[in-house]
């Protein structure tokens, strides 16, 4: 009489359970895969083709642009005269330096203030916890408006200063709520054990909380950096000195003026690059830093947003 091993009898059932998926996770049909691939390909092309056209146009000569009737899709030769023109007068180089300074300094200030505020608001026993949290959340519903903000900035003497581009947007309540939710997910037992060992709040924040929060901090830092790099409206309001314009204000002046401000003093008879190539070159210079930085933060993007936005 043979004895049936119970493990052998249960193994097929377990294997069947492991391979089975919920209805929303089932493998899509062939038509579904083709449709998904087509949609994703269309989205990618919708993003890449305009960037390609801008890049090719910025590297095209006057003859190529005239033959294409405007924007160039198929390159013929490479001409860097537009980039030489925009960098020759120093206006774009100075604007890039100001934008870089505002982005680095503003991101550091915003991350520091947001992390400190989020950590304090994530601790239930902190002083005036509910009142401060309500005060921050109230800004979602009530915004002071343009005129009061302008009066505050000018009253503090920040006009025509890079701090006018940083301090009005130093803390984003949305980013603060995301980081606070992430901090609340850190086990309280881990923080209590550090307190028992004699660690203070700043030491706990620096040695325990921040190393566990790299993903969400990287994502929020990217949000802040993109915001400061693309700052335009605050520069329009608070900056009158064109020597302190960020790159976005220079881009606006290039587009509205119809030609590069650096070309006004060039000698007669010098072959000038076309205006459209100059505009496209400024666009490429403007978007390149963010495009180059984003891949290094991309791996933290989804994880940081999902974990920081959902508690529990």
What DSSP state is assigned to residue 23? Answer: G
**What is the pLDDT at residue 244?**
87
The pTM for the full model equals 0.75
pLDDT at 104 over 80: yes
- pLDDT bin (cut points 50, 70, 90) of residue 93 is confident
Half-sphere exposure (CA, 13 Å, Cβ side) for 138?
A: 7
256 in the Ramachandran plot: left (φ > 0), alpha (ψ -120 to 50) or beta? alpha
Tokens of 235: 């520069």
What percentage of the chain reaches a pLDDT higher than 70? 81
- Please report the sign of the dihedral spanned by the C-alpha atoms of residue 188, residue 189, residue 190, residue 196: positive
pLDDT at 298 over 90: no
Tokens of 3: 């004895």
Cα 136 to chain centroid distance, Å, stands at 22
User: In degrees, to the nearest 5, what angle opens at C-alpha 196 toward C-alphas 192 and 200?
Assistant: 80
**What is the pLDDT at residue 49?**
92
**What is the pLDDT at residue 268?**
37
pLDDT at 308 over 70: no
Cα gap 303→215, rounded to integer Å: 7
Cα gap 149→145, rounded to integer Å: 6
**What is the pLDDT at residue 43?**
94
Radius of gyration in angstroms for the set of CA atoms belonging to the chain, rounded to a whole number: 27
């Amino acid at each position: 009489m043979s004895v049936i091993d119970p493990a052998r009898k249960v193994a097929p059932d377990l294997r069947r359970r492991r391979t089975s998926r919920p209805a929303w996770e089932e493998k899509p049909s062939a038509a579904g895969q083709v449709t998904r691939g087509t949609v994703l390909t269309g989205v990618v092309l919708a993003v890449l083709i305009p960037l390609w056209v801008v890049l090719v146009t910025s590297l095209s000569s006057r003859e190529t642009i005239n033959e294409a009737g405007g924007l160039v899709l198929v390159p013929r030769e490479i001409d860097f005269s537009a980039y030489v023109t925009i960098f020759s007068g120093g206006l774009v180089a100075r604007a890039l330096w100001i934008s870089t300074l505002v982005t680095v300094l503003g991101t550091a200030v915003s991350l520091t203030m947001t992390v400190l505020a989020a950590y304090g608001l994530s601790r239930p026993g902190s002083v005036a916890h509910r009142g401060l949290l309500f005060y921050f959340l109230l800004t979602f519903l009530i915004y002071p408006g343009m005129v009061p903000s302008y009066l505050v900035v000018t009253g503090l003497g920040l006009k025509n200063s890079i701090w006018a581009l940083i301090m009005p947007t130093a803390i984003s309540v949305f980013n603060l709520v995301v980081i606070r939710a992430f901090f609340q997910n850190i086990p309280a037992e881990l923080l209590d054990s550090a307190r028992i060992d004699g660690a203070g709040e700043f030491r706990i924040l620096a040695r325990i909380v921040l190393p566990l929060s790299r993903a969400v901090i990287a994502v929020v830092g990217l949000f802040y950096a993109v915001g400061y790099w693309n700052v335009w409206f605050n520069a329009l309001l608070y900056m009158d000195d064109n020597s302190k314009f960020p790159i976005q204000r220079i881009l606006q002046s290039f587009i509205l003026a119809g030609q590069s401000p650096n070309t006004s003093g060039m000698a007669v008879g010098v072959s000038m690059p076309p205006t459209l190539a100059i505009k496209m070159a400024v666009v490429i210079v403007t978007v390149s830093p963010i495009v180059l930085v984003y891949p290094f933060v991309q791996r933290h993007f989804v994880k940081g947003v999902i974990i920081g936005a959902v508690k529990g």
